[in-house]
Amino acid sequence: MAVRWLEDVRADDIDSVGGKGASLGELTDAGLPVPPGFVVTAGTYRTFIEEAGIDQELFDAVDVDAEDSAALADAEARAKDLILNTEFPEELRENILSSYDALDDGQAFVAVRSSATAEDLPDASFAGQQETFLNITREGLLDRVKRCWASLFTQRAIYYRQEQGFDHDLVNIAVVVQRMVDAEKSGVMFTSHPSTGAHEAIIEAAWGLGEAVVSGSVSPDNYHVDRDTGAVEEVTVADKKVMHVKDAETGETVEREVPDEKRTERVLSDDEITDLVAIGERVEDHYGTPQDVEWAMVDGDVYMLQSRPITTIDDEEDMTDTDSGDGEALVNGLGASPGVASGPVRVVTKLDQLDKVGDGDIIVTEMTTPDMVPAMKRAAGIVTDEGGMTSHAAIVSRELGCPAVVGAQDASTTLADDQIVTLDGDRGVVREGRVETDEERDPIEEARPKTPVKPMTATEVKVNVSIPEAAERAAATGADGVGLLRMEHMILSTNKTPERYIEDHGEDAYVQELVEGIQGVAEEFYPRPVRVRTLDAPTDEFRQLEGGNDEPHEHNPMLGYRGIRRSLDRPDVFKHELEAFRELYEMGYDNVEVMFPLVNDAEDVARARNLMAEAGIDIEKRSWGVMIETPASALSMDEIAEEGVDFASFGTNDLTQYTLAVDRNNGNVADRFDELHPSVLRLIEHTIEVCREHDVATSICGQAGSKPDMVDFLVETGVSSISANIDAVRDVQHEVKRVEQRMLLESVRE
């Protein structure tokens, strides 16, 4: 059967109609308010490609090396061409169009959505990769059905199926065609608390169509309802800047700015909340388990658009306190990454000793370098003689969720291979002996908030990512995106300078090294934005690599040949970084944003922008911006904004040291390093004010973004987003919410 009406679909039809189709059929059968529609079945897709004789050619076309981005691009183009340029058989064409004609006499605007057959494809390979089209009419329906089919073979989908060893010819997909609800307000509802299962409903709501909420393009209102009493216990009203609506003239879905008077207006009344909760309880009763429901409201009527079971509820929560033991303290330092780990010591004094580090070992070394990351991933804990809270070891350990003690001075000479120790990353101490724990640590689960419903804030809270290997853990925090992904760690981890790498392996290999590093993070966060900083490593770090002998010797590398000044001076190398961005855009990673470091003035920005355009990047379509790290750039923000930047992001480590003339790596003056110094704050405040005048977003991605005092100042000053370290994201979210609520309360009282 080519087409099945939702009213005839049940849960056990999932192989034929996919997860969305089966859910909507169940809701319809239960008498719940679901917009009418039908499903073009998964078998129809299979029949289409087989009867047209393109099935084998299609599967052969996408059987490519997943690491070859050029081959992936060709595969996507070929698959899309095969499907879109193959005519519908007349009988199938008539089946689909006659079904459409039965909706509102052929005048309906419909949503056309892909619906995965859950048993055919792992969720990780599918989520967010297939298409949804809104407000489609009869004229465009058949084309959109084929585009849903073709979206099985985007570069991203091909890449991840290849990576997981899943055969392309086992993939099937259904397409749901459903009458659009021209929603005035919409959102998501958890019928029970998604972490504890408590008897409370949690509702997110925004103006217009629900895609704005689901995609994360708007911060919605948040409501907590006690289902036992019906009382609305907590209301958070967000600043809802945009909404998705149907354009009255074209019928297409467009993004519009929310009218000023509605931006901070509460979306749902108490009566509407009561109606929603009542329907949510009916959905939960039908399925017998708590549900995550997408809903829409128009003219006071509520519609259910989708429902799925909540899978994050824990049966019980382990509250066991972990102690680092009473063994003799062997060395002391700074607790740089929290947690307790026990294991045998592996002292590493040379890079060729990294092979001796196995799973569960404790690395002890003078200091870590980027090419030690693979070994750091295997280790249970890390101890270094040198370094502070912003050292490579500290940053990478926090991102990997690996307990670490840094600046222990003599650890590499005091501790010995095979010695069993316990490292306490909270207290900064390494003790003799092992502490037995009842269960293995899972760094990714530890990063995941205990309560997955994050505080709703107008100020976005993003996360800093230093190395691609930390992407999964960073994404688990529930951050609104990545405020800083450092490109230099991808290069430094090769142990070669860019010039030497290109000389040894070629330009294409260098570009692919960057593409793969960024791609993993962009995929993990999609569609949330990932802001990638172009190369910003000082010459002293490059000198340690192969090819480093050609690097200039500088008295103070932090003031020297780095950031955009190096890139503009070496356009022959810089162009390959920009080529990597262009390839990522062509692969469909439209969530990647480009950020230029250490700019001084508008001339730096204009030259970088022009090189980006020469590399084939559409500077009007893509989001790009600059780091504000020098007083000169802060005081030149007016002119910089005129060059067309979309955002400006504060790098507080550099901004502080350049404003106060304090070398952050010099222990003799380290006590004078203060990101909250009034002069630093004045520069930040001035920049935010100028950016607001020019409609340029502002953010912070330095270490200071994780400090409560800085968070308070930034929110009160009007920053657009704050990017925090992985282990600080949820705390920053709560601090932002507290400050925003206080500001709202004060404005009401005035």
**Residues in the chain, pLDDT under 70:** 67, 69, 118-130, 156, 160, 163-164, 194-197, 213-219, 311-326, 370-371, 387-392, 436-454, 664-667, 750
Inter-residue contact 552 to 539 (CB < 8 Å): yes
pTM (predicted TM-score): 0.58
HSE of 567 in the Cβ direction (CA atoms, 13 Å)?
A: 27
Q: What is the DSSP letter of 259?
A: P
Instruction: Quote the CA–CA distance of 719 and 172 in Å, as a whole number.
Output: 45
* pLDDT the model gives residue 705: 82
Q: Which amino acid is at 140?
A: G
User: Is the peptide bond preceding residue 527 cis, with omega within 30 degrees of 0?
Assistant: yes
Contacts with 286 (C-beta within 8 Å, 6 or more apart), sequence order: 26, 27, 30, 32
Helix (H, G, I), strand (E, B) or coil at 347: strand
Instruction: Give start and end residues of each alpha helix (H) in 252-335.
Output: 260-263, 270-287
Domains of the chain: residue spans and CATH: 3-179 (3.30.1490.20), 185-309 (3.30.470.20), 329-441 (3.50.30.10), 458-749 (3.20.20.60)
Sheet of strand 173-179, all strands in order from the earlier edge strand to the far edge: 3-5, 37-40, 173-179, 110-116, 132-136
Q: Are strands 404-406 and 420-424 parallel, antiparallel or unpaired?
A: unpaired
**φ, ψ for residue 182 (rounded to 5)?**
-80, 75
**Which residues, 6 or more positions from 336, have their beta carbon under 8 angstroms from its beta carbon?**
387, 388, 389, 391, 393, 394, 397, 398, 404, 405, 406, 425, 428
Q: CA separation (Å) from 556 to 25, 370, 571?
A: 67, 21, 24
CA 130 – CA 148 distance, rounded (Å): 6
Please give the C-alpha separations between residue 539 and each of 42, 283, 379, 535, 661, in angstroms, as whole numbers. Answer: 56, 61, 29, 12, 20
Closest CA to 195 of 527, 526, 445: 445
Angle between helices 270-287 and 14-29 (to 10 degrees): 130
Torsion of Cα atoms, 629 then 632 then 633 then 637, to 10°: 140
pLDDT at 255 (0 to 100)? 84
Condensed to tens digits (0 to 9), the pLDDT of residues 384-436 reads 987 665 566 777 787 788 899 988 888 999 999 999 999 998 888 999 998 76
C-alpha–C-alpha distance, residues 701 and 708, integer Å? 14
3-state secondary structure 203-240: EEEEEECCHHHHHCCCCCEEEEEECCCCCEEEEECCCC
Structure-token pair, residue 630? 């020098």
Sign of CA dihedral 498, 503, 504, 509: positive
d(CA 28, CA 7): 6
Q: How far apart are CA 521 and CA 628, in angstroms?
A: 24
Task: Give the whole-angstrom CA distance, residue 333 versus residue 509.
Answer: 40
Q: 80 with 58: CB under 8 angstroms? A: no
In Å, how far are 309, 348, 402, 412, 424 from 432, measured between CA atoms?
47, 19, 19, 15, 11
Q: Which two tokens stand for residue 512?
A: 């692919």
The answer to whether 465 and 482 are in contact (CB under 8 A) is yes
Residue with tokens 């029970």, as numbered in its chain: 192
> Of the listed 392, 402, 489, 576, which one is catalytic?
392
Give the pLDDT score at 398.
Answer: 77
CA angle at 150 for the pair 68 and 27, rounded to the nearest 5°: 125
- Catalytic residue, candidates 148, 402, 691, 701: 701
Q: Side chain identity at 27, as an amino acid letter?
A: L
Structure tokens at 350: 């040379």
List, as one string, the DSSP characters of 731-749.
HHHHHHHHHHHHHHHHHHH
- Between CA 583 and CA 69 the distance in angstroms is 7
Residue appearing with tokens 């307790």: 340
State residue 119's pLDDT score.
36
**Which amino acid belongs to residue 674?**
D
Provide the sign of the torsion angle of the four alpha carbons 677, 678, 681, 686, taken in this order: negative
How far apart are alpha carbons 258 and 242 in whole angstroms?
5
The residues, any chain, with a CB within 8 Å of residue 689's CB and separated by 6 or more, are: 718
Told to judge if 701 belongs to the known catalytic residues of this protein, a careful annotator would answer: yes
Q: Which amino acid is at 196?
A: T
DSSP E strand stretches across 395-489: 404-406, 420-424, 429-432, 460-465, 482-486
**What DSSP element (H or E) covers 150?**
helix 138-150
Query: Checking phi first, is residue 495 left (phi over 0); if not, alpha (psi -120 to 50) or beta?
Result: left
